[in-house]
């Protein structure tokens, strides 16, 4: 039998536990895929005394990274510690000590990718990161390898499982936001700091990495316009439903003549379309290539085993040499990577939800603001409320207009004396 490949698992929380479990329970199958047995040689965690529901092989558990980095028998490190530090320093240490790295940490790659990929190149090692984007969906391999013949025109998707889980539970069961967030944390979907999930940071970091793979240029994630789901409440979900839509946090990137349009935020998606039917911790990615046309990927974007599926596939790819080839051919964040310029967003229909004083002339004032920006109204909803109600909800659906025009209009609307709270403004997708 061929010599086994020894792996170090650095971080054994939700994802690391899944990796150890899958490598153990599917050992024979994985051996056939890799041509050699793959065994976990060493686990590194923060607290070696913590009670765990996965047995650590041979009880080889340490809090010292050197147990992996300095062991010459270990060829591959699965870096499954979240956050930026010490994850960044640990990854650099592993690469410099000659380990190929597989990671699920998109925050780390989005923030420190240029440095980490450069260190990997200097060290002659690879970094594989399928699990960092859309969990179990093989979107990195699809774009980097299977769609290599295509000039990608656009990528659109639901890239954060936690926020999709929260939104669909609020929508389908009327659940309370805080209660469902706690459930997402208990299921292992959320980041250690769930703010990253709900404020759109996580989806934006994934979009920056995907856009780099697809379009070749690099947009630092912090430059991408981003809105979180904290702005979504039951009233907005009910209005969306009444109009025939669901609300999803959609990440969008498309190629223009010499720029990219990119944004992340809550969006109305028409009921019955694939994005609207993406529920719970599922993610979805639609990609349009110039040769292949439209493609749609759907699968679990977070959670122990779906994410482990991607990590273990990357470990196998590393063992058989595919990861090194992909790492070289994709040229991730090489020094000459062009910086893309962002446009102000493409045209769309928009839903506006305002809370306004219920008195004569208010609707005329508001529609004048939209009219002065050249924005045409498609429909208006105001339900009758009890006399004397201080602020009534008013929903306006526009015809297609420029993102810059609607942004100016919302800023002006929010200054009107009749407008009692910040206006919600969501783009609308009909296909």
Binder among 8, 135, 266, 427 for ligand NAP (CB under 6 A): 135
99 is catalytic: no
Three-state SS across the chain? CCCCEEEEEECCCHHHHHHHHHHHHCHHHHHHHHCCCEEEEEEECCCCCCCCCCCCHHHCEECCCHHHHCCCCEEEEEECCCCCCCHHHHHHHHHHCCCEEEECCHHHHHHHHHHHHHHHHHHCCCEECHHHCCCCCCHHHHHHHHCCCCCEEEEEEECCHHHHHHHHHHHHHCCCHHHHHHHHHHCCCCCCCCHHHHCCHHHHHHHHHHHHHHHCCECCHHHCCECCHHHCCHHHHHHHHHCCEEEEEEEEEEECCCCEEEEEEEEEEECCCCCCCCCCCEEEEEEEECCCEEEEEEEECCCHHHHHHHHHHHHHHHHHCHHHHHHHHHCCCCCCCCECCECCCCCEEEEEEEEECCCCCHHHHHHHHHHHCCCCEEEEECCCCCCCCCCEEEEEEECCECHHHHHHHHHHHCCCCCECCCCEEEEEECC
Binder among 200, 265, 301, 427 for ligand HSE (CB under 6 A): 301
Under the binding rule (CB under 6 A), the answer on residue 280 touching ligand NAP is no
> Which listed range, 22-30, 138-146, 188-196, 382-390, lies at the site for ligand HSE (CB under 6 A)?
188-196
Under the binding rule (CB under 6 A), the answer on residue 8 touching ligand NAP is no
Residues 175-234 that bind ligand NAP (CB under 6 A): 188-189, 191-192
Q: How many residues bind ligand HSE (CB under 6 A)?
A: 11
> Which listed range, 252-260, 300-308, 319-327, 368-376, lies at the site for ligand NAP (CB under 6 A)?
300-308
Nearest approach in angstroms of CB 185 to ligand NAP is: 10
Per partner kind, with CB cut-offs from 5 to 8 A, the member of ligand HSE, ligand NAP, none near residue 47 is ligand NAP
Nearest approach in angstroms of CB 135 to ligand NAP is: 5
Q: Which is nearer to ligand HSE, 156 or 353 (CB)?
A: 156
Per partner kind, with CB cut-offs from 5 to 8 A, the member of ligand HSE, ligand NAP, none near residue 351 is none
Q: Which is nearer to ligand HSE, 191 or 317 (CB)?
A: 191
Nearest approach in angstroms of CB 431 to ligand NAP is: 28
Active-site residues, by number, are 206
Question: Residues in the site for ligand NAP, rule: CB under 6 A?
Answer: 11-16, 44-47, 50, 80-82, 86, 104-105, 131, 135, 188-189, 191-192, 302-303, 307
């Amino acid at each position: 039998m061929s010599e086994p490949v020894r792996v170090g698992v650095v971080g054994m929380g939700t994802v690391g536990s899944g990796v150890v479990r899958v490598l153990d329970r599917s050992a024979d199958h994985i051996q056939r895929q890799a041509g050699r047995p793959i065994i976990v040689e060493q686990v590194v965690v923060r607290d070696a005394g913590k009670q765990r529901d996965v047995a650590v092989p041979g009880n080889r558990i340490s809090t010292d990274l050197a147990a992996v980095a300095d062991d010459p028998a270990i060829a591959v490190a699965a870096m499954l510690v979240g956050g930026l530090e010490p994850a960044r320093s640990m990854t650099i240490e592993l690469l410099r000590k000659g380990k190929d790295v597989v990671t699920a940490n998109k925050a780390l790659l989005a923030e420190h990718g240029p440095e980490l990929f450069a260190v990997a190149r200097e060290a002659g090692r690879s970094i594989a990161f399928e699990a960092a984007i859309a969990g179990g969906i093989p979107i990195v391999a699809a774009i980097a390898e299977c769609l290599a013949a295509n000039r990608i025109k656009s990528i659109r998707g639901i890239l954060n499982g936690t926020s999709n889980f929260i939104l669909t539970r609020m929508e389908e069961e009327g659940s309370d936001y805080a209660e469902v967030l706690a459930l997402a944390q208990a299921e292992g979907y959320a980041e250690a700091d769930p703010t990253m999930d709900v404020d759109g940071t996580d989806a934006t970091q994934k979009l920056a990495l995907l856009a780099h793979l697809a379009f070749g240029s690099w947009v630092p994630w912090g430059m991408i316009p981003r809105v979180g789901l904290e702005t979504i409440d039951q009233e907005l979900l009910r209005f969306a439903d009444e109009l025939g839509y669901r609300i999803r946090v959609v990440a969008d990137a498309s190629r223009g003549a010499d720029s990219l349009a990119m944004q992340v935020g809550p969006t109305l998606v028409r009921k019955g379309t694939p994005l609207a039917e993406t529920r719970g911790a599922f993610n979805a990615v639609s990609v349009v290539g110039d040769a292949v046309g439209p493609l749609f990927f759907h699968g679990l974007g977070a959670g122990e085993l779906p994410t482990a599926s991607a990590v273990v596939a990357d470990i196998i790819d590393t063992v058989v040499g595919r990861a090194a080839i992909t790492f070289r051919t994709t040229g991730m964040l090489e020094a000459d990577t062009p910086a893309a310029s962002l446009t102000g967003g493409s045209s769309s229909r928009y839903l506006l939800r305002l809370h306004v004083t219920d008195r004569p002339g208010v609707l005329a004032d508001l529609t004048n603001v939209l009219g002065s920006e050249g924005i045409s109204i498609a429909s208006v909803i105001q339900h009758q409320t009890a006399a004397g109600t201080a602020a009534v909800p008013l929903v306006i659906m526009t015809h297609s207009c420029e993102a810059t025009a609607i942004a100016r209009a919302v800023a002006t609307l929010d200054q009107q004396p009749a407008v009692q709270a910040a206006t919600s403004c969501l783009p609308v997708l009909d296909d």
